[in-house]
Amino acid sequence: MALAVRTPRFQPRPASISAPTTPASTSLAAGNARPRPCAGAAVRASPFTEATSSSRYRRDAWSYAADGSSNSASPSSAAAAAAGRRDDEIALQLPELRRLLDVLRASRGRGAEEGGGPGRVALVGTGPGDPELLTLKAVRAIEAADLVLYDRLVSNDVLDLVGEGARLLYVGKTAGYHSRTQEEIHELLLSFAEAGANVVRLKGGDPLVFGRGGEEMDFLQQQGIKVEVIPGITSASGIAAELGIPLTHRGVATSVRFLTGHSRNGGTDPLYVAGNAADPDTTLVVYMGLSTLPSLAPKLMKHGLPPDTPAVAVERGTTPQQRTVFASLKDLVDEVKSADLVSPTLIIIGKVVSLSPFWVESSEHDALKVQSSYANEAR
């Protein structure tokens, strides 16, 4: 069916939330200004933080310039290091990270005389991309942060809410590039929390749904660090609502199942779930499933899911760059490939997809194309 690039009708999309004009935290040095996204950017421009994006290095510039010395690394050299070896980039950041830790520890030492203690960590879900889907609790935590460790799928609009007195550090992962290992992220969270910082770990969607938030929470709690989890709207809920798709519906779908499309070994074969996931009365939502879709779709049909089951693939859902492909399961792989969708793409498979008004529009669009083709042949 047709590729759709549109803002759905259900809720008008007002202007993005403005960044706070007053920094909510002044415990760290200011001077970490972050530019607003360009309004004239191309529709395919990512609303998220890609590994080598210039916005990332502007946000994280503080971590490459210890004491402003002339031999400090510049963001351009940091970008070059990222394009080369991950270890080179981390080495450039270490001096300033250590200096910041020393400052925090000295501050904590003075605070201890007044009854102070270690800092805390908040695992904050930022939803699928639209900043207006943030909870009020999430906004307050973001504004109050001293240090923000953020993932790739935290949108630029959400990062604009971070107070100017806070420091940001990218710890995102994408296929073929992990800026930090999970163990290194654990140690960063622990080190800064122990030094007395108010640390916010920003994650796209919900931190406890395919976000490895449970691992971070468990690690920190074992070290005696207080952890608060602030839930976010998971992509399945936010994107389904954007398209008018009820994940469950009486008489159509009695349950919903979330799957990760990532192969455990990094290959193209999905995890071994196709057999028991092929239930016509269940809505199947596949996160991070773009690379494994060509393997998953045939397996679902082989295990009994009807080939004409409605499905939709949604790239960068709830953002202005959202693109959608509606198709039957048997055609979905070809349609997604034709549309050249990119990550992040969420896939929803099930009869409830046909309840979306965009499914009807896509069907009508295809019918018109077929009629036009027949008319041209008749001539």
Q: What is the pLDDT of residues 76-94, one digit of tens each?
A: 665 555 555 667 777 878 8
Q: What are phi and psi of 371, to 5 degrees?
A: -60, -40
The answer on pLDDT for 280 being more than 70 is yes
| CA proximity to 119, closest of 12, 25, 197 | 197
- Domains annotated for the chain, with CATH where assigned, are 83-108+117-233 (3.40.1010.10), 236-355 (3.30.950.10)
CA 281 – CA 67 distance, rounded (Å): 61
Phi/psi at 312 (5° precision): -145, 140
Distance CA 168, CA 180 (A): 14
* Exposed / middle / buried, residue 268 (Cβ in 10 Å: 0-12, 13-18, 19+): exposed
> Who has greater pLDDT, 27 or 73?
73
Q: How buried is residue 266: exposed, middle or buried, by Cβ count under 10 Å (0-12/13-18/19+)?
A: exposed
pLDDT tens per residue, range 145-198: 999 999 989 988 999 999 988 999 999 877 666 688 899 999 999 999 998 899
Distance of alpha carbon 62 from the chain centroid: 23
pLDDT attached to residue 110: 56
How long is the chain?
Answer: 379
Which residue type, as a one-letter code, is found at position 316?
R
Tell me if residue 206 falls in helix, strand or coil.
coil
The CA dihedral of 52, 19, 134, 356, to the nearest 10 degrees, is: -80
pLDDT band at 204 (very low <50, low <70, confident <90, very high): very high
Of the candidates 225, 214, 215, 221, the one whose C-alpha atom is nearest the C-alpha of residue 191 is 225
**Catalytically annotated residues:** 151, 173, 288
| CB distance 280 to 351 below 8 Å | yes
Which residues, including other chains, have CB under 8 Å from residue 110's CB and lie 6 or more apart?
116
pTM: 0.78
Q: Residue 52 — very low, low, confident or very high, per pLDDT cuts 50/70/90?
A: low
